[in-house]
Structures are given as structure tokens and as C-alpha cells.
Amino acid sequence: MNLLKNIFKIFTLNKHTTPSIVIFPGFGMHPSNYKDIFPENSNLIYLDIWNDSQFENINKGLQNGEITPPGTPKYDIWISKIIEQCNIELQKNTKKKDKFIFFAHSIGVEICNELSENSIATITYGSSKQLTKNVDVPTFQLLGTLDSQVNRKLEKWPKDFIPILEGNHFSCSNDEGIFLANKWAKSLNMPKSKEYTQINNNKSKMLIKNEIKNIIESLQNT
């Protein structure tokens, strides 16, 4: 059954040549902040998760204790609501039973993992979370070698992760995305991201872009 399922996925991918790419942005960021890392003429679907309404909801929840840190029951309730909202948005784009390539950054990886039944492949950056929700979906996990948000918590390099040399946590984003992430963190009294370096950010972004291009081409040529 799994073999037939994978064959069907490959057939569908070849038939539609270039599937749409759904972007799950990092905290406080907008999906358009990642547009530079995808091939030209890609059909990008933006999940605007971190909008003004969500900011107000998070700010209120942090103040009244309804939203608590990761690993707590209240956090799980909060993130599950976000996942459901994203699922509703995805269903609006699946009237013809289309499948997508997912791209997720940072906390977006946690969200997309729960929705993997809608994807034919998942590409991640800026997270050490091993995607295990759907083993039938190919995953390609990229991680910057200078990503301080992730690497400072690791004892060793995650198995099968693709290293992006000198990439930091925001190497997949444009400058506006970095500004938004830090703006949200400051406004919500969260620690500002302290990356090891911003040097060679354009170089590492190009490495990410090339990896994504190669991944999409490999899927199409399977």
C-alpha cells in the first residue's frame, strides 16, 4: 500500500511539473520574507500566521497566563489552535485535491509537521525537530552551522540534517523578516535573537536557495 501511495505521489508531481509551495513562517514573520530562496516563477502559498490579530491574542495570553512556554499543556492548546487555523487555510487551496511542497522555518516546522498529510515533501530550516508525523512524506531538513537558537541546545549534529555553512537562524529570510521577528520578541518581552554572526548571510542564503532548487528538481526527476 505504501509503495502504491508513493508511486501515486510521484506521478502526481510529474503531472503537475511544479507543485505549489506552502510557506510556514517563523515566529512574528511573514511568508513573503522567504520568497528570495525559491526558484523564479514558483507558485507560493502564504500562510499569514503571525498577523496583528494573532499578536494581540498572544500578548493577552502571555499576560493572563493562558499561553505558557513550550512543553506545557497550555502551550499545546495554543499551538493546536494555530495548527487548526492553518489546516483550514490549506483546505481552501485543496478543492482539486492538490498536494504541496511545504517549507517551514523555526516554529513553523512544529506546525507543518502536524499537517504533513497535505504535502508530497517537506523542507525545513532553523529547527532541530525531527519530522516523524508522516514517514511517507520525504523530508529535507536544512540547518545553519551558525544557528545559535538551535545549535546551543544540541549535543551533536542532528542525523541526516543538511548543513548550511555559516548560516544563522535567519539566513533563509530577508532583512524585513529579521526586523519583524525581533520586533515581535521585543513587544512581547521575549529575548532578542542573538546570532553568532550576520557575515556571509547572502552567501548562506544562496546555499539555501541552491539546496531547495536541487530538492525540487530531484522530486520532479524521481
User: What domains appear along the chain, each with residue ranges and CATH number?
Assistant: 2-220 (3.40.50)
Q: Grid coordinates 523542507 are at which residue?
A: 123
Q: Is the Cβ–Cβ distance between 173 and 194 less than 8 Å?
A: no
For residue 157, give the C-alpha cell.
549534529
What is d(CA 13, CA 17) in angstroms, rounded to the nearest whole number?
Answer: 6
Buried b (16+ CB within 10 A) or exposed e, 146-159: bbebbbeeeeeebe
The whole-number mean pLDDT for each consecutive block of 10 residues of the chain, a chain of 222 residues, reads 40 56 97 96 94 96 94 96 94 73 97 91 94 82 94 92 95 93 92 62 92 92 68
What is d(CA 42, CA 179) in angstroms, rounded to the nearest whole number?
Answer: 25
Through-space distance between the first and last CA atoms of the chain, rounded to whole angstroms: 19
